[in-house]
Structure formats: structure tokens, C-alpha cells
């Protein structure tokens, strides 16, 4: 009898063996980490100026409106133009906006500005970042599929999430301590330096040709093609819809300055730890996913992960103890990272090459709707209902969305990636 060949050994570091993927991932890490430092520092400063939770929600709205408006066009360009050039141009715009924000926040300059002038200038420059992200996000998400072979897509999605979550840990923690040491202006100076490093790393990625079949059709036909593909593919549509509605109503990140300042009373350093807790849970979980991919029964695992996210959010809402709040936020990040790995794998493996940029653009719109518009919804709900009741209500909506989706998507339980 011939011997049965041994199964191929799973390589948890497969994607990291490709230098261009490493350069793109580290560049994205510096960008996301810098953006989070900037976001946390600005949110804390704006809340100190206004003491109004709605002002925190307006940060998300200022970034979401230009991002959502331009993301589909950004996906169209990502499918029809050289992606690395789009990424570099977008990071350059983010760099310029953050440099202007740092200049306006310098003590000597800010002392000459009325508080409302500085506040509206900050919102305007945040909107500029959203504009640039509308081009960056679909280009970067679609480019990474060209840097590794198809059999490594799942592993690359895991490591991409690992780099992102590492930035999501270091960013908020660094923001709290940088703010305490150097104030807003010193913090933003560090952010500008990080964006410079991101630009340099992207130069190590070689340009990639446009995928065959991506050049036909006018702009509106191109956008419609991407939208039709998403709405005609059930697993993609349901996966991004599940994420959008759960984070839109169940997210608490935008309200953390309120919890840090008024409920838990832990100051900027405590805010940094609160912001980092979900990312620490996510990072540890996503590293575990590199060795044990949650892709054997992806749809079931996705639903269970979002349910866990909703339950952990409820615990955070009712907690009065700082370390229990940290543990609950840790759990939200752990559950969310499982859903991110599964969703990213779906977004890389399912769409064809010539549509991937536009599909990623639609996905980015859903993500922005859940994150940035979710921040606005959180601020508005907190103003109308109160901070804690609004988070409890959001957690209940998240669990309800999972129950509804479970009933609607039974045929997806057999899907394999």
C-alpha cells in the first residue's frame, strides 16, 4: 500500500515572508497608530473645552461624511489606477492635515484663536483626513491581495489585523501619556513624525499593473458594478451588514472620554488604558487566530463573535469599577478580532481581482458607517438618553441584530472559505 502523504504543515508566518506585504502592513500600522493617537488626544481636548458628549460625536461625523462621499470613487480609482500611488497621495494629504492641526494647536498660535475658531478648524481638518481615507482605504485593502498568493489570504488577513490591533493598543496608551507630558501640540508633533515613516515604508512596495477587465465602462457604470456585486453576494452583504449594525449601535469608543472624566474619574492616563483595552484583547486573540484560524465554520463563528461583543458591551455599561470596565472592553476587542479576521478573509477570497477595489470601497463605507457615524450616534444618544442608558440600549440592539441575522442566514452555515 502506498503511504498517505503527510498534510502540509500550517505556517502561521506565511504572509510575513513577503517583504512588500511587511512594508505595507508596517506602514499601515504607523498610519493607524498615528490616527488613533490624534483621535484620542483631540477627543479628550474637545471634551475638556465643551463638556458636551455631542461634541465627541461630531468628530466621527466630520470624518465620516467626506469618507462615505468619496469611498466609492476611491474604489473605482483603486481598480483602474496604480494603487501604490493612490496610497502615497492619500497619506501625504493626511500628513498635511495633521501638520496644520499641530500648528493650530501650538500654544502661541492657539492663544490668538477664539475657542470656537480652534474647534471648527479642528473639525475641518478631521474632515480632510476623512477625505484622504476615502481614497486610502480601498487602495490599501485591495493592494494587499496582490502582494501574497491566494492560499495565504487568510494568513495575511490575520497578520493585517495583528498590525492594526497593535497600533490600536499603542496608539491610545501613547496618546494618554503623550498628552499628559506634552499636551495636545506635543502629541500631534509625534503623530506627524509617524505619518512620515508611513510614507517612507510605502515606497518599498512596487507598483502593480491594473487587473485585466478593470478598464471598461464609465464611472457610474463602474460604481454600479461594484455595488451590484456586493448586494448580489449574500455572504459579503450579510457579513458587512452584521458588523455595521452591531458597531453602529453597540460601540462605546466615542464615549470613553465621558466615562474616563465623569463616571470612572481616571483622567487622560485612564482614558488611554480604556482605549487600549479592546485592542489588547483583539491583538491576543488575533495572534491565537494565526495558529487556530476560525474559518472551519466561518458564518457560525462570526455570529457568535458579534453576540459576545454585544454582551461584553452590556457589562461595560453597568460597571462602576475601573478594572471590570477594562476587562469588559478587553472582551469586546477579543470578540471583534474574530469577526475581523473572518470578514477580511471573505473580502479577499470572494471578490474577483478586477472588482476588489470597489467591493472594498463598499465595505469601507459600511465600516465607516459603523465607526464614525456610530460615534455620532453614540454622542447623540448619550445626550438624549444619558451616557449609561445609551450604551445599554446599544448592547441590546447588537444582540437583537445577531438573533435576526441567525434566522435569516441559515444557508450560510455550510459555507467554507
Least Cα distance to 368 among 68, 43, 57 occurs for 68
| Residue range 153-163, pLDDT digits in tens | 778 877 887 78
- pLDDT greater at residue 318 or residue 227: 318
| More confident position, 219 or 395 | 395
Phi, psi of 378 (to 5 degrees): -65, -45
With a CB cutoff of 8 Å and minimum separation 6, the contacts of 316 are 252, 325, 328, 329, 332, 391
Does an H or E element contain 188, and which? helix 153-202
Instruction: Please give the Cα distance from 41 to 378 (Å, whole number).
Output: 18
What is the rounded distance in angstroms from the CA atom of residue 294 to the CA atom of residue 53?
Answer: 37
CA distance 104 to 410: 53
Say which CATH architecture domain 15-208+219-414 belongs to: Up-down Bundle (1.20)
User: Do 357 and 75 meet the contact criterion of CB atoms below 8 Å apart?
Assistant: yes
pLDDT at 8: 47
| pLDDT tens-place string over residues 67-124 | 777 777 777 777 778 888 899 999 999 999 999 988 888 887 877 888 788 888 888 8
39, 41, 43, 46: CA torsion to nearest 10: -140
The whole-angstrom separation of Cα 33 and Cα 41 is 12
Q: What is the mean predicted confidence (pLDDT) over 392-408?
A: 87
Kindly tell me if the per-residue pLDDT of 373 is higher than 80.
no
Q: Give the pLDDT of residue 7.
A: 43
Contact indicator for 415, 233 with CB cutoff of 8 Å: no
Rounded Cα–Cα distance for residues 252 and 387 (Å): 10
Q: What is the pLDDT of residue 269?
A: 73
Q: What is the average per-residue pLDDT within 376-388?
A: 78
**Number of residues written out for the chain:** 417
Mean pLDDT of 276-293: 81
- Residues ≥6 apart with Cβ < 8 Å to 284: 334
Whether 2 shows a pLDDT value over 70: the answer reads no
Question: What is the per-residue pLDDT for 250?
Answer: 66
- pLDDT tens-digit profile of 312-336? 999 998 888 999 999 999 999 899 8
Q: What are the φ and ψ backbone dihedral angles of 321, each rounded to 5 degrees? A: -115, 130
Amino acid at each position: 500500500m502506498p503511504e498517505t502523504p503527510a498534510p502540509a504543515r500550517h505556517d502561521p508566518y506565511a504572509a510575513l515572508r513577503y517583504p512588500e506585504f511587511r512594508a505595507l502592513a508596517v506602514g499601515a500600522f504607523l498610519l493607524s497608530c498615528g490616527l488613533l493617537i490624534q483621535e484620542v488626544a483631540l477627543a479628550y481636548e474637545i471634551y475638556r473645552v465643551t463638556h458636551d458628549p455631542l461634541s465627541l460625536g461630531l468628530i466621527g461625523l466630520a470624518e465620516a461624511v467626506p469618507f462615505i462621499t468619496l469611498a466609492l470613487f476611491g474604489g473605482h480609482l483603486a481598480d483602474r489606477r496604480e494603487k501604490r500611488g493612490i496610497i502615497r497621495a492619500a497619506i501625504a494629504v493626511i500628513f498635511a492635515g495633521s501638520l496644520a492641526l499641530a500648528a493650530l494647536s501650538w500654544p502661541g498660535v492657539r492663544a490668538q484663536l477664539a475657542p470656537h475658531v480652534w474647534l471648527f478648524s479642528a473639525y475641518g481638518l478631521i474632515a480632510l483626513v476623512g477625505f484622504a481615507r476615502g481614497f486610502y482605504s480601498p487602495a490599501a485593502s485591495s493592494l494587499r491581495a496582490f502582494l501574497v498568493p491566494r492560499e495565504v489570504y487568510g494568513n495575511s488577513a490575520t497578520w493585517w489585523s495583528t498590525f492594526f490591533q497593535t497600533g490600536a493598543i499603542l496608539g491610545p496608551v501613547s496618546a494618554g501619556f503623550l498628552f499628559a507630558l506634552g499636551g495636545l501640540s506635543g502629541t500631534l508633533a509625534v503623530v506627524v513624525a509617524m505619518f512620515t515613516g508611513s510614507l517612507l515604508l510605502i515606497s518599498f512596495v512596487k507598483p502593480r499593473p491594473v487587473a485585466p477587465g478593470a478598464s471598461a465602462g464609465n464611472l457610474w457604470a463602474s460604481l454600479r458594478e461594484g455595488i451590484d456585486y456586493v448586494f448580489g453576494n449574500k455572504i459579503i452583504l450579510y457579513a458587512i451588514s452584521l458588523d455595521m449594525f452591531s458597531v453602529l449601535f453597540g460601540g462605546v469608543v466615542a464615549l470613553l472620554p465621558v466615562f474616563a472624566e465623569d463616571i470612572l474619574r481616571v483622567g487622560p492616563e485612564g482614558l488611554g488604558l480604556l482605549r487600549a483595552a479592546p485592542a489588547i484583547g483583539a491583538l491576543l486573540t488575533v495572534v491565537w487566530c494565526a495558529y487556530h484560524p476560525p474559518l472551519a465554520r466561518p458564518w457560525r463563528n462570526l455570529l457568535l463573535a458579534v453576540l459576545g461583543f454585544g454582551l461584553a458591551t452590556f457589562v461595560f455599561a453597568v460597571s462602576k469599577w475601573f478594572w471590570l470596565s477594562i476587562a469588559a472592553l478587553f472582551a469586546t476587542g477579543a470578540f471583534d478580532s474574530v469577526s475581523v479576521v473572518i470578514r477580511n478573509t471573505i473580502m479577499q477570497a470572494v471578490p474577483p481581482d478586477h472588482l476588489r477595489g470597489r467591493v472594498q470601497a463598499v465595505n469601507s463605507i459600511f465600516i465607516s458607517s459603523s465607526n464614525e457615524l456610530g460615534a455620532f450616534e453614540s454622542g447623540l444618544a448619550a445626550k438624549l438618553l444619558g451616557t449609561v442608558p445609551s450604551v445599554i440600549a446599544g448592547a441590546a440592539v447588537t444582540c437583537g441584530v445577531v438573533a435576526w441575522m441567525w434566522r435569516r442566514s441559515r444557508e450560510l452555515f455550510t459555507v467554507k472559505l
